[in-house]
Chains A and B, each alone.
Chain A
Amino acid sequence: MIRVIRRYLATLATLSIVFALWEAGVRLFHVASYILPPPSRIIVVFCTRFPLLLGHASVTLVEVALGMLLGVLGGFALAVLIFYSRTLERALYPLIIASQMIPVFAIAPLLVIWFGYGLWPKVTVAGLIVFFPIVVNTVDGLRSVNEETIDVLRSLNATRPQIFRRVRLPASLPSLLSGLKVGVTLSVVGATIGEWVGAKSGLGYLMIQSNALLRIDLVFAAILMLSLLGLLLFGLVRIMERRLLRWRTPRNQTDRRRTT
């Protein structure tokens, strides 16, 4: 615990300074709390309304989790198809890249029209956002294999599925996880946008509702909750990465690395 605190000491110090200046500024200039509430008030609201926030956060979490699952599965499957088929690569890859010029947020209202106010428009937005970094990174990962490694397996008469399972798949994992790290934070944003456009619950919904009622303190409390949610998911990917990619850091040299 002490080590964790020490590691994030600088971050905590920065946050404290920002909050102190904020608090002082709001009090000094008598800013109305419906315009900018002081951080102390946000924290109080965060604590007193915690059950409410948690309820909405769980809705958003489910949307993000489902979106990520679909985005990762779809993105991975498509990356494999693109990797193995030149035709599909030519047919799809440019379109997938071009599709990224369309802001996903612009189609969020359409998704509400098509799928209603429920879970699925948000899942779709979150999924679409995760999808792209997964496809691009996985294709790169599958291509990253040293051709001579493949040669060794081919000389042993390995089949293509064997080469995929034993070499290409594990080789693509580091870049897939990098894609996931980018995707996970963006997908929280995606789900929130989906909730802004039309929803009955979720942190995005809470923000829009509180905003309309000039409960800016609750808006900020929801933002705080959203950041914590993003951090949690990012942390989970980091843990996954560390467990799955243990082989990248030499254990007998970790100490030396840390000091240099």
Chain B
Amino acid sequence: MSVRRIIKAFSVPGGNLPVLDGVSFSIDRGGFTSLVGPSGCGKTTLIKILAGILPADSGEIAVGHETGNLRGQVAYMPQSDTLLPWRTALGNALIPAQIDHRPRGEAIREARDLLDRFGLSGFEDLYPVELSGGMKQRLALMRTFLSHRDILLLDEPLGALDALTRAHLQDWLVSVWHEMEKTILLVTHDVEEALLLADHVILLSARPACVRNDFAIHIARPRTRSDTSLVQQKEELLQLIYAEERND
């Protein structure tokens, strides 16, 4: 997927607020890319444009040789809890199949097969209020994976979790990504998370955002949080972000 010169401004009382100022990057098929940047820099706006929910003022997005609006071609998982509270875990997992009018029996079978991998077997008939925070995020991720889209846009999927659950799910997410062969673009404010998971990190500048830095992570997997080169790169990346925040 390649993104070229995306520009976006919001009209606010008293003028225009430029948010994205010519964002360009490309990500590899099957890769795991992290998008980091100072808070409020427009990461969520960018990912909504990529998901086809928000129109860009100008710029171009292409997947393979196709350009244009990506709506319906990528799966998007927003930051907040978007599970439907009146549906059971299984019912929530079936939403993409229902939207796409896929046969129900097959969709149920497919969802059941994934339950175990997502640590939800035995919980399929519970409602979201009955699930823990970590389970809810795994369920939302499972729903995203079941969308049959190759590209997954995840906006802070682990942001609202406690540190321990978060650490567990980070490791788990990497293994699921390996198995499922999806292309993932993960928005995060957590530099360590970006380095731990991704093979490619994109650093956005302060608002109005453009790509400030774009680099591959060559740390061997499985990675640990105490890996010396990871710790070192984390420090460097943090310095870059602090510099951005000071410029703001």
Contact = CB atoms under 8 A, between A and B. Distances in A.
Interface of A: 146, 148-149, 151-158, 162, 166-167, 170-171, 173, 245-253
A248 B72 CA distance: 31
B78 A151 contact: yes
Nearest to B54: A151
A252 B130 contact: yes
A23 B202 CA distance: 83
Main secondary structure of the interface of A (DSSP, over half): helix
Interface stretch (B21-29, B94-102, B184-192): B94-102
B177 interface: no
Question: Which of B75, B82, B87, B127: most chain A CB closer than 10 A?
Answer: B82
A152 B130 contact: no
A120 to B, nearest CB: 37
B12 interface: no
A146 B95 CA distance: 16
Contacts of B126: 251-252
A170 B84 CA distance: 9
Nearest to A153: B99
Main secondary structure of the interface of B (DSSP, over half): loop
A46 to B, nearest CB: 42
Nearest to B71: A157
A173 B87 CA distance: 13
A192 B96 CA distance: 50
B76 A157 contact: no
A166 B130 contact: no
Contacts of B96: 156
7 shortest interchain CB distances as A-B pairs: A157-B72, A148-B78, A155-B76, A247-B127, A149-B82, A155-B51, A250-B130
Interface string B110-146: 0000000000000000111110000000000000000
A171 to B, nearest CB: 8
B234 interface: no
B71 A155 contact: yes
A170 B86 contact: yes
B53 A251 contact: no
A171 B100 CA distance: 21
B127 A152 contact: no
Given A157-B99, A166-B95, A167-B84, A152 B77 contact: yes
A247 B129 contact: yes
B85 interface: yes
Given A158-B99, A166-B95, 6 more contacts: A154-B52, A154-B53, A155-B72, A156-B75, A157-B99, A247-B86
Question: Which of A148, A171, A251: most chain B CB closer than 10 A?
Answer: A148
A86 B151 CA distance: 36
24 contacts: A146-B82, A148-B79, A148-B80, A149-B82, A151-B48, A151-B51, A151-B76, A151-B82, A152-B76, A152-B82, A154-B71, A155-B76, A156-B100, A156-B147, A157-B72, A158-B99, A166-B84, A171-B86, A248-B85, A248-B129, A250-B127, A250-B129, A251-B130, A253-B130
B74 interface: yes
A247 B89 CA distance: 11
Contacts of A155: 51-53, 71-72, 74-76, 153
A155 B87 CA distance: 20
Contacts of B72: 155-157
Nearest to A174: B86
Contacts of A153: 95, 99
Nearest to B83: A149
B148 to A, nearest CB: 10
Nearest to B50: A155
